[in-house]
């Protein structure tokens, strides 16, 4: 996997461009936000997350979809249960993943963050294959964006407390951070 610094797109991953993005106001990337998603909830490998981020979700296929059909959201990346990575938005653009949010007193985290969705739920362990994919992707982002650091990686629940709970208690932060620090040092 390689991140093209000119386009903001990763090579050797699946690309599913989303229309749900816009230009970053300052071009800054200094925060990484980890999320979880599954559509329908707790069902995996359905292809519905991709359809949702591309505004192509058929809301008649499942009752849950009717309640989210009006949303226009995206993330930069999705890491599926098997470790496959899909990119929806260039890292140079603003994906619509964080919503109303604040990090260290700074509002509108979409303006300066990259969002990574892990296929999963708050209450089920993530798949082993997702962690090395997340570590590899995180390292690429740390190399490309000098304002991003290990201490500027958080969960959606950290920037939208009370509103969001993901990635949830089943995400192994210690495992993820140890793997990052093992070869990266304490950036």
Give burial (CB, 10 Å; 0-12/13-18/19+) of 70.
exposed
Tokens 């496959």 -> residue = 84
Round to whole Å and give the CA distance between 111 and 95.
Answer: 8
Residues 6+ apart with CB under 8 A from 166: 34, 35, 36, 37, 122, 155, 156, 157
**Residues that are catalytic:** 117
Residue 27 tokens, joined? 């071009």
DSSP strand pairing (93-95 vs 14-15): unpaired
140: left (phi over 0), alpha (psi -120 to 50) or beta: alpha
Name the strand (E) or helix (H) holding 178: helix 173-184
């Amino acid at each position: 996997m390689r991140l093209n610094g000119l386009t903001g797109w990763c090579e050797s991953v699946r690309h599913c461009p989303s229309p749900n993005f816009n230009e970053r106001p300052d071009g800054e990337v200094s925060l990484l936000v980890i999320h979880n998603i599954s559509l329908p909830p707790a069902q995996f490998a359905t292809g519905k997350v991709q359809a949702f981020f591309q505004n192509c979700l058929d809301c008649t296929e499942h009752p849950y979809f009717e309640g989210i059909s009006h949303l226009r959201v995206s993330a930069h990346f999705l890491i599926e249960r098997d470790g496959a990575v899909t990119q929806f938005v260039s890292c140079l653009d603003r994906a619509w993943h964080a919503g109303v949010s604040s990090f260290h007193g700074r509002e509108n985290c979409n303006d300066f963050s990259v969002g990574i969705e892990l296929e999963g739920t708050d209450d089920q362990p993530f798949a082993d294959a997702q962690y090395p994919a997340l570590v590899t992707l995180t390292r690429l982002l740390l190399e490309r964006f000098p304002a991003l650091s290990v201490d500027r990686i958080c969960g959606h629940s950290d920037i939208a407390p009370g509103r969001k709970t993901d990635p949830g208690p089943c995400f192994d932060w210690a495992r993820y951070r140890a793997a990052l620090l093992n070869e990266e040092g304490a950036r």
